[in-house]
C-alpha cells in the first residue's frame, strides 16, 4: 500500500538526520517543509519533500491536505490509563483545603483507586481502558506508556498488566508497559513498609517477569511513599529480571529520587517539581531523560519544575500527561504542549520536541517514532486548517487535530 499526503501547508517535525533525543539548544530546532508531500508505504514513512519535487507516479491512496499541517503524533511517555474509578470527590476535598498527601494518609488517593481496581474484573478494566485509549488517539497521541500501580496486591497488579498487554495486542497505538507495584503503601503495611517492598521484590517482580508483562520498572520514590533505599532494592530486582528503570521522583520533596534513578540508569525520571542545583548537575551527561508532568502540577497546584533552567543548562526535557484519576485526569497532549509554553516558558519548537521526540526517547521508541523521518512508523496527524504551527500551543483547550494516521492507516 503506497499512500500520498499532498499539498501539506507545513510538514512539521521533520528530521533529515534522525537523533534519538534533543537536548539544550538542539531543542529549539524544529525542521519544517512548506507546501510539502509525505509518502507512506507499508505503515512506514517512505519519503517527503516539497510538492514541486514530487515525481509523477501512481498511489493506492491520495489525501489532499490543502490548508492543513502535518505533525508526528505525540508520544505520551507517562500515564496510568488503566484504572477503575474517577476520583472527583477527592478533587472537591482538595478545593476545600486538603492536600494530596493528607488525602493519601487517610486511605484515599492511590488506595482509593486500589480498592476499586480489586473489585473490577479484567474484562471491565480492559473495556474502560480501551475507550480511554480511543479518545487519546483521536487527540493525536500515537505512542503511550501505561503503568500498573492501582493493584498493590500481586493478583491485582497482574490483572492491570494483563489489561495493558491486551491493549498492546489490539490497539494501533504503540504501547509500553511499566510495572509500578511500588506506587502506594497498602494500609496493612503501614509502619513496616519494608515488608511490602519484600512482596514486590520476591513475589510480584518474578511473576510479572514470568509472564513477560513489563518493559519498565517504576517506584514512587518520594516523601510519604517509598524511600531511596526501597527504590534501590526494587530497581535492582527489576533490572535482574530484564526491566528498565523509569521512575517517579521529586514530586513532593527533594527526595533523592533523581540521584537513585540516575544511579540505576533509569531511562527517565519523572515529575521533578522539587529540584535543586544538585539534581540538575546529576542529570548532566547521563542517558536519563528528565520528564516533567505539567498536568499534575496544574491539577495539584504544585510548584513548577524548572524546565527553562534545565534546558539552559544543556539538558533534554520531555513533557508527558501523567493521565491518571488522582493527579492529572486529562488525556490531552495538545494541552500539555500549551502548558509547556504558557507555564514553563518553552518556545513552541522546544515544546514540540519535548512532547514528541524526547517523550519517544523516554519510552524507548525514539528510533521508530517521535518525528517525521524516513523509515519511522507513519504515525502522524493532519490538523484542521490553522495559520501557523505556533497556533498549536497558542490555542489552548481547542482540538486542532482533524485526522490521525497510525502505522499509515487512518483511525
Using CB under 5 A, list all residues that contact Fe ion.
322
> In whole angstroms, what is the distance from residue 261 CA to residue 279 CA?
11
Q: Can you say whether the dihedral through the CA atoms of 299, 26, 249, 284 is positive or negative? A: negative
- Binding to ligand NIG in span 251-270, by CB under 6 A: 251
At closest approach, how far in Å is the CB of 181 from ligand NIG? Answer: 13
State which of residues 326, 348, 364, 393 lies at the interface with ligand NIG (CB under 6 A): 326
Are the C-beta atoms of residues 310 and 317 closer than 8 Å to each other? yes
* Residue 109 makes contact with ligand NIG by CB under 6 A: yes
- Name the segment binding ligand NIG (CB under 6 A); options: 109-117, 122-130, 189-197, 386-394: 109-117
Residue sitting closest to Fe ion (CB): 322
Based on CB atoms, which residue is closest to ligand NIG, 295 or 316?
A: 295
DSSP 200: I
**Three-class SS state of 363:** coil
At closest approach, how far in Å is the CB of 296 from ligand NIG? Answer: 5
- Name the segment binding ligand NIG (CB under 6 A); options: 47-55, 256-264, 321-329, 395-403: 321-329
Comparing C-alpha atoms, which of 324, 391, 395, 406 is closest to residue 68?
A: 391
Which of ligand NIG, Fe ion, none interacts with 220 (beta carbon under 5 to 8 A by kind)?
Answer: ligand NIG
At closest approach, how far in Å is the CB of 185 from ligand NIG? Answer: 12
At closest approach, how far in Å is the CB of 13 from Fe ion? Answer: 26
Residue sitting closest to ligand NIG (CB): 326
State which of residues 113, 174, 177, 331 lies at the interface with ligand NIG (CB under 6 A): 113
Are the C-beta atoms of residues 82 and 129 closer than 8 Å to each other? yes
What is the side-by-side order of every strand in the sheet holding 174-182?
74-76, 141-147, 174-182, 216-221, 244-249, 268-271, 289-292, 318-319
Based on CB atoms, which residue is closest to ligand NIG, 109 or 256?
A: 109
Q: What would the grid cell of residue 97 be?
A: 483545603
Comparing C-alpha atoms, which of 287, 275, 267, 222 is closest to residue 248?
A: 222
- What mask, x for binding ligand NIG by CB under 6 A, covers residues 54 to 83? --------------------------x---
Based on CB atoms, which residue is closest to ligand NIG, 324 or 355?
A: 324
> In whole angstroms, what is the distance from residue 170 CA to residue 172 CA?
7
At closest approach, how far in Å is the CB of 79 from Fe ion? Answer: 8
At closest approach, how far in Å is the CB of 135 from Fe ion? Answer: 19
Place of cell 493478583: 155
Which of ligand NIG, Fe ion, none interacts with 72 (beta carbon under 5 to 8 A by kind)?
Answer: none
State which of residues 68, 248, 376, 400 lies at the interface with ligand NIG (CB under 6 A): 248
State which of residues 156, 288, 321, 324 lies at the interface with ligand NIG (CB under 6 A): 324
CA atoms within a 13 Å half-sphere pointing along the CA-CB vector of 228:
13
Which of ligand NIG, Fe ion, none interacts with 174 (beta carbon under 5 to 8 A by kind)?
Answer: none
At closest approach, how far in Å is the CB of 103 from ligand NIG? Answer: 9
DSSP 79: B
At closest approach, how far in Å is the CB of 325 from ligand NIG? Answer: 6
Place of cell 531511562: 267
Number of residues that bind ligand NIG (CB under 6 A): 13
Distances from the Cα of 204 to the Cα of 53, 84, 151, 377, angstroms: 56, 21, 11, 34
At closest approach, how far in Å is the CB of 141 from ligand NIG? Answer: 17
- What mask, x for binding ligand NIG by CB under 6 A, covers residues 211 to 230? ---------x----------
- Binding to ligand NIG in span 281-310, by CB under 6 A: 296
Listing DSSP states for 270-334 in one string gives EE--S--HHHHHHHTTSS-EEEE-HHHHHHHTPPPP-HHHHHHTT---EE---BBTTTB----HH
> In whole angstroms, what is the distance from residue 102 CA to residue 98 CA?
6
At closest approach, how far in Å is the CB of 142 from Fe ion? Answer: 20
- Which strand (E) or helix (H) includes residue 41? strand 31-41
Comparing C-alpha atoms, which of 379, 302, 357 is closest to residue 28?
A: 357
Residues that bind ligand NIG (CB under 6 A): 80, 109-110, 113, 220, 248, 251, 296, 322, 324-327
Amino acid at each position: 500500500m503506497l499512500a500520498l499526503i499532498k499539498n501539506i501547508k507545513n510538514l512539521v517535525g521533520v528530521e533529515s538526520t534522525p537523533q534519538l533525543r534533543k537536548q539544550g539548544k538542539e531543542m529549539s530546532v524544529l525542521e519544517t517543509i512548506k507546501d510539502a508531500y509525505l509518502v507512506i508505504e507499508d505503515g512506514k514513512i517512505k519519503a517527503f519533500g516539497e510538492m514541486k519535487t514530487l515525481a509523477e507516479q501512481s498511489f493506492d491512496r491520495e489525501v489532499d491536505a490543502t490548508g492543513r499541517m502535518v505533525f508526528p503524533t505525540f508520544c505520551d511517555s507517562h500515564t496510568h490509563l488503566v484504572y477503575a474509578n474517577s476520583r472527583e470527590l477527592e478533587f472537591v476535598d482538595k478545593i476545600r483545603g486538603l492536600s494530596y498527601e493528607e488525602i493519601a494518609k487517610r486511605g484515599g488517593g492511590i488506595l482509593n483507586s486500589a480498592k476499586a481496581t480489586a473489585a473490577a474484573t479484567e474484562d471491565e478494566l480492559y473495556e474502560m481502558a480501551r475507550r480511554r485509549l480511543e479518545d487519546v488517539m483521536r487527540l493525536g497521541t500515537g505512542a503511550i506508556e501505561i503503568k500498573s500501580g492501582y493493584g498493590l496486591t500481586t493478583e491485582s497488579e497482574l490483572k492491570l498488566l494483563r489489561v495493558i498487554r491486551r491493549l498492546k495486542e489490539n490497539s494501533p497505538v504503540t504501547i509500553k508497559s511499566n510495572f509500578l507495584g511500588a506506587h502506594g503503601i497498602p494500609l496493612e503495611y503501614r509502619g513496616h513498609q519494608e515488608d511490602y517492598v519484600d512482596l514486590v521484590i520476591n513475589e510480584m517482580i518474578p511473576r510479572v517477569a514470568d509472564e513477560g508483562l513489563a518493559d519498565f520498572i517504576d517506584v514512587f520514590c518520594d516523601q510519604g511513599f517509598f524511600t531511596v533505599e526501597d527504590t534501590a532494592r526494587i530497581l535492582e530486582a527489576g533490572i535482574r529480571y530484564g526491566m528498565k528503570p523509569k521512575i517517579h521522583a521529586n514530586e513532593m520533596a527533594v527526595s533523592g529520587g533523581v540521584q537513585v534513578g540516575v544511579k540505576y540508569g533509569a531511562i527517565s525520571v519523572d515529575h521533578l517539581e522539587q529540584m535543586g542545583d544538585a539534581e540538575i548537575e546529576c542529570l548532566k551527561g547521563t542517558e536519563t531523560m528528565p520528564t516533567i508532568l505539567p498536568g499534575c502540577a496544574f491539577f495539584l497546584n504544585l510548584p513548577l519544575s524548572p524546565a527553562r533552567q534545565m534546558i539552559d543548562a544543556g539538558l533534554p526535557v520531555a513533557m508527558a500527561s501523567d493521565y491518571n484519576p488522582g493527579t492529572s485526569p486529562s488525556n490531552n497532549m495538545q494541552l500539555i504542549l500549551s502548558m509547556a509554553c504558557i507555564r514553563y516558558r518553552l518556545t513552541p519548537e522546544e515544546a514540540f520536541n519535548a512532547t514528541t521526540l524526547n517523550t519517544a526517547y523516554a519510552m524507548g521508541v525514539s528510533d521508530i517514532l517521535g518525528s517525521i523521518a524516513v523509515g519511522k512508523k507513519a504515525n502522524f496527524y493532519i490538523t484542521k486548517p490553522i495559520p501557523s504551527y505556533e497556533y498549536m500551543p497558542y490555542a489552548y483547550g481547542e482540538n486542532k487535530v482533524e485526522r490521525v494516521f497510525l502505522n499509515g492507516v487512518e483511525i
